[in-house]
Structures are given as C-alpha cells and as structure tokens.
C-alpha cells in the first residue's frame, strides 16, 4: 500500500504537469493553478473597488500621459503576443490605465489589462519615456503571469492547493488579500509578496521590448532604475521596490537586454 507521502507526491506531480504555462521569451514553465477567467473576474472587481476608494486623477497632463503611454504599450503587447502565437493569452483583457492621487512611488498591473500609476511615480519617471519603463515593466509582469504564479504558490502553501473557487467560498478575505498582495497592490492590507529575481529579470526583458515596440528608447531604462535606486537611499524603500527588489546586478542585466530590445525599436 502506498504511503500518504507517496500519494501526495503523485498528486502534486500531476498538479504541476497539468497546471503549467510558458513564459513569453524565456520559455520557462511556471505553475498557474488559476484560470484566466477566474483571475480576470477577480481583477476587475478588485480594480473597481480600488478606484472607488482612491482619487483617480483626470484631465491633467500627467493623467493624459499615463493614458497615452498605456495605449501605446497595449498595442505593442497585442502585436508581440500575436507574433508569438500567444494572442489567446490576452483573451478577456479589458485594458484600463489610471493615474491615482498618492505620493507613494508605486505602480502595478492586474490581469486583464488593469493598470494603476501613483502620482508619486511621475517625478521619478520624469517624462513619457521614463513612464514607459515602469508601465512596460508592470504590464510585463501581468502578461508573463507572474501574479498568477505567485498566487498559485501561496494557495499551494497556505491553503493546500485549494482551487480558487473553493478558496473564495471558504476563505474570502484571505483569498482577496492574497490576490492584492500577489499583484503588488497589497500594502493596504499589510501584505507584500516580492517578485523573485527570475520574475524581475523576465519583466525587465519583456518590458524593454514592449516599450521599444511602443516607440520609446529602451536605453532610458538605465536612467530610470538609477533614479529609483537614489530615491531608495533617501529613506525607506519606495513601495514599488518593496514588491520589486532591485539587485546589484539589475543594471548589468538591463544593459544586456537593451540590444535585443533595440531590434524592436521604431522611434515614433
């Protein structure tokens, strides 16, 4: 008779085999226990709830810039994913880009194309190209399924691989908090789930390609991340870096990614 440990390992292995997706560009296999339909539904609800509780900035130069950059990167993402025969990964997306009044140096993107930039990020971004770095990076996290991957890992460890529908029924508050934390918007509930260095590297690489396709020079990314590092030295790390840990090798990695991104660069 097989032991409980053996049965668990067989079930776990089966779960991994049937719950994996491929990250664009790198081809890495990742654990995704949650369907895109479930994620998008949670995303849209959480996003609308967030906007209802925060001041959305409209009609300003900054808000218009967020909209403009977001739309260009949206087009780049759709073009890139279609060329990679991954256009189905964007099914159900309903893109939205909003600037929110908040001094935090932060930005995040949820599944389904829901993006928020905080006003505190604009001085660090400095201009449209700098904003494209951060928005391209955040959208890359969403497109690459990093939030799904983090949430799946947490469901596996905290709730024993409970399917999302069951988790929402039995542990609604815990699951909602986990969702917000997994997508970098969890500071209001006291939870932050940092991206791994591997996920950060993937988002940097993919984000550079997206911004290049959108007509922004990828070389701008070096200055942006330098400003982020300088802002961090001034006191507590910006929330953006709390969920996006910058390593000492990030600049070198970005330098290595830029030549690839430049192949996609078409100045506007």
Q: Render pLDDT for 75-127 as a digit per residue (tens, 0 to 9).
A: 999 999 999 998 988 999 999 999 999 999 999 998 899 999 999 999 999 99
Question: Average per-residue pLDDT in the chain?
Answer: 79
pLDDT score at 144: 87
Return d(Cα 219, Cα 224) in angstroms, integer: 9
The model's pTM is 0.79
Element (H, E) at 78: helix 61-83
Return d(Cα 268, Cα 69) in angstroms, integer: 12
In terms of average pLDDT, the best of 8-12, 205-209, 229-233 is 205-209
Residues 189-214 have a mean pLDDT of 80
- pLDDT (tens digit per residue) in 1-49: 445 444 333 334 434 443 456 766 666 776 676 777 888 888 898 899 9
pLDDT score at 249: 77
Return d(Cα 66, Cα 25) in angstroms, integer: 26
Is the predicted pLDDT of residue 190 greater than 80, yes or no? no
Instruction: Report yes or no: 23 and 30 within 8 Å, Cβ to Cβ.
Output: yes
pLDDT score at 192: 45
CB 230: neighbour CB atoms within 10 A? 10
Nearest by Cα to 199 from 175, 180, 182 = 182
Going by pLDDT thresholds of 50, 70 and 90, the confidence category of residue 241 is: low
Nearest by Cα to 39 from 96, 112, 106 = 112
Q: Can you list the positions of beta strands (E) in 55-160?
A: 56-57, 96-100, 107-110, 114-118
Q: Catalytic pick from 138, 149, 202, 239?
A: 138
Q: What are 222's two structure tokens?
A: 């070096």
Strand partners, 56: 100
Whether 200 is catalytic is no
């Amino acid at each position: 008779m097989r032991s409980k440990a053996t049965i668990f390992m067989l079930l776990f292995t089966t779960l991994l085999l049937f719950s994996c997706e491929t990250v664009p560009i790198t081809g890495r296999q990742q654990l995704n226990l949650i369907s895109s339909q479930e994620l998008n539904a949670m995303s849209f609800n959480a996003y609308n709830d967030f906007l209802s509780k925060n001041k959305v900035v409209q009609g300003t130069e900054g808000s218009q810039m967020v909209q403009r950059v977001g739309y260009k990167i949206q087009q780049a993402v759709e073009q890139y994913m279609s060329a990679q025969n991954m256009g189905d990964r964007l099914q159900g997306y309903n893109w939205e880009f909003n600037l929110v009044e908040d001094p935090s140096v932060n930005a995040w993107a949820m599944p389904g194309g829901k993006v928020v930039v905080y006003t505190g990020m604009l001085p660090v971004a400095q201009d449209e190209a700098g904003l494209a770095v951060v928005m391209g990076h955040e959208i890359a996290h969403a497109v690459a399924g990093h939030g799904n991957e983090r949430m799946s890992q947490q469901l596996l460890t905290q709730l024993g691989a409970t399917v999302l529908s069951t988790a929402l029924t039995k542990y609604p508050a815990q699951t909602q908090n986990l969702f917000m934390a997994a997508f970098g918007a969890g500071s209001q509930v006291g939870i932050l789930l940092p991206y791994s260095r591997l996920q950060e590297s993937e988002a940097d690489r993919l984000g550079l390609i997206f911004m290049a396709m959108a007509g922004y020079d990828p070389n701008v990314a070096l200055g942006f991340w330098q400003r982020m590092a300088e802002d961090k030295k001034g006191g507590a790390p910006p929330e953006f870096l709390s969920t996006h840990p910058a390593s000492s090798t990030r600049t070198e990695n970005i330098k290595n990614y830029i030549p690839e991104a430049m192949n996609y660069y078409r100045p506007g």
